[in-house]
Amino acid sequence: MKAADLAGRLSERAKAQGFTLFGVAPAAEADGFDRFTAWLDAGHAGEMDYLENQRERRRHPSSILPTVRSVVMLGFEYGHAVLEPEPASPSRIAKYAHGPDYHPFLWNKLNDLASWLEAEEPGCRAKGSADTAPLLERDFARRAGLGWFGKNTMLIDKQRGSFFFLAALLTSVELPVSTPHVASHCGSCTACLDACPTRAFPEPGVLDARKCISYLTIELRGSIPLELREPMGGWLFGCDICQDVCPWNRKEKLGAFPTNSELAELDPVELLSLDDAEFRRRFRGTAFFRTKRTGLLRNAAIVLGNTGTATAISALELARQDDDEVIREAAEWALSRLRQRLAMN
C-alpha cells in the first residue's frame, strides 16, 4: 500500500477512536532537546526526578522504538475553558481529572492503532506512547503541525485550543510528514502569564514547575511551601487557570473523554475522613491515585484553610492528629489560617 494511502486510512482509524488532531513528524532528534536540558539544569523540574533520570533518552524517539522512522502525533480533547466565573465551591479540580486515568484510556486506543497498522503493513513495528515514555511530545506535535507553544508552554491549536491530551504512535513505516507549525499566534497577549496566582512563569514560554499549582498538588510529595499556599486558593488537584483565560480556548467544544460528576466536585471536608483503604477503593483508576492519600488530604486541608467555613474546623482538628506528618502539618496550618479568616469577618 502506498504510504500516503496508509497514512490517510490511519488518520480515519484514529478519528474513529476519538482523536481530533492527527499529524506525522519524521523520527529525528527532538527540536527542543537543548531547551529541555537547560530547563532541567535550571532546577525548574523540582522533585520530578524521572525527568532527569531519563534525560538522554528524550533526545531521540529511537530510545523507545529503535527502528522508528515516523512519529504519528495525536490529540484527544478532554474539555473546554470556563468562560464565566465558577460558582463558589469548596474546591476546584483540573478538567482532565474529571474522568478515568487518561493513561490507560489512551493506551488502549494506541494499542488498537498499533495492531491495525501492523496488520495493514506486515513486518512493520508500531508502539504507542502517552505521557509516560521518554518522548518530548510537544516538540513532535509542533513538527507534525498540531500547533505552537503558547506562552504558558501548552501546545495550542487554532481550532481546538489547548484542552487536549497528546499521544504518539511510533512506527518503523516511513509515512508522509505533515507541514510543521512554525508561527506563534499569541501575539502580545499575556493573559496566561498575568493570571497565574503563584507566578510560575519566570518568562514567556518557561514554566518553573516548583511554583505551578499542578505540580504542587500532584507531583510534590512533601509539604507545600508556605508562601505558595494562599495563592493556591481552592485548587484541590491540578489547575486550569492559564488555559481558561487563553483566548484560543473560548470556543466551547465537546471532547469524547468520559467524565464523572462525582470526580468533578469533591468535598475536602469529607476527604479528610478517608483512611488509606477507602482512598484506594475510591480513587484507583483515576488521576487522583497519583497523589496517594497523603497528597490529596494535604491538598484538602490547604483548600479548607483558604476557602473553608467554620464547619470545617472539626475535620481539620481530626486531621491534625493523623498518623501522616505531612497531613498533620497542613491541617495545623489550615486551622490557623481559617480561624484568622473567620476572625476578620
Q: Does any domain span residue 69?
A: yes
113 within domain boundaries? yes
CB proximity list for 288: less than 8 A, separation 6 or greater: 97, 237, 263, 296
Q: Is residue 274 in a domain?
A: yes
User: Does residue 251 surpass a pLDDT of 60?
Assistant: yes
Positions marked active-site = 131
Together in a domain, 163 and 311 = no
pLDDT in tens, 194-235: 999 999 999 999 999 999 999 999 999 999 999 999 999 999
Cell numbers at 249, concatenated: 480556548
Please say if the pLDDT value at position 99 is more than 80.
Answer: yes
The domain containing residue 120 runs over which residues? 3-78+99-171
Would 229 be classed as within a structural domain?
Answer: no
Predicted confidence (pLDDT) at residue 35 exceeds the cutoff of 90? yes
pLDDT value for 256: 83
- Other residues' Cβ atoms within 10 Å of the Cβ of residue 255: 21
- The domain that holds 291 is classified in CATH as 1.25.10.10
**Residues 6 or more apart in contact with residue 113 via CB below 8 angstroms:** 10, 13, 14, 17, 72, 126, 128, 169
Domain end: 148, 171, 194, which one? 171
Cα(167)–Cα(106) distance, integer angstroms: 7
Statement to judge: residues 21 and 166 lie in one domain? yes
Query: What are 124-143's pLDDT values in tens digits?
Result: 999 999 998 999 999 999 99
Note the pLDDT of residue 107. Answer: 97
Give pLDDT, residue 252: 72
**Dihedral of the alpha carbons of 328, 332, 338, 342, in degrees to the nearest 10:** 140
Claim to verify: residue 23 and residue 159 sit in the same structural domain = yes
Q: What is the 3-state secondary structure (H, E, C) of the chain?
A: CCHHHHHHHHHHHHHHCCCCEEEEEECCCCCCHHHHHHHHHCCCCCCCHHHHHCCHHHHCHHHCCCCCCEEEEEEEECCCCCCCCCCCCCCEECHHHHCECHHHHHHHHHHHHHHHHHHHCCCCCEEEECCCCCCCHHHHHHHCCCCEECCCCCEEECCCECCEEEEEEEECCCCCCCCCCCCCCCCCCCHHHHHCCCCCCCECCECCHHHCHHHHHHHCCCCCCHHHHHHHCCEEECCCHHHHCCHHHCCCCCCCCCCCHHHHCCCHHHHCCCCHHHHHHHHCCEHHHHHHHHHHHHHHHHHHHHHCCHHHHHHHHHHCCCCCHHHHHHHHHHHHHHHHHHHHC
pLDDT digits (tens, 9 = 90+) for 37-83: 999 999 999 999 999 999 999 999 999 999 999 999 999 999 876 65
Say what the alpha-carbon torsion angle 207, 289, 265, 209 is, to the nearest 10 degrees.
-10
Dist CA 240 CA 136 (whole Å): 22
Residue where a domain stops, chosen among 144, 171, 198: 171
Q: Does some domain include residue 55? A: yes
- Let me know if residue 295 belongs to a domain: yes
**135 plus 13 within the same structural domain:** yes
Q: In whole angstroms, what is the distance from residue 320 CA to residue 297 CA?
A: 11
Mean pLDDT of the chain: 95
pLDDT tens digit string along 298-333? 999 999 999 999 999 999 999 999 999 999 999 999
Name the one residue in this structure whose C-alpha cell is 476527604: 271
Is residue 87 pLDDT above 90, yes or no? no
pTM here is: 0.94
Question: In terms of domains, do 8 and 144 share one?
Answer: yes
Choose among 235, 229, 343, 344: nearest CA to 291. Answer: 235
**pLDDT value of position 89:** 58
Statement to judge: residues 294 and 150 lie in one domain: no
Answer for the pair 9, 2: CB distance below 8 angstroms, yes or no: no
pLDDT of residue 255: 73
Q: Which of 171, 187, 203 is the last residue of a domain?
A: 171
Let me know if residue 228 belongs to a domain.
no
Q: What average pLDDT does the segment 183-188 reach?
A: 96
Residue 318, in any domain of the structure: yes
Residues 157 and 150: beta-carbon distance below 8 Å: no
Residues 272 and 151 in one domain: no
Structurally, how many domains does the chain consist of?
Answer: 2
| Residue 84 scores a pLDDT above 70 | no
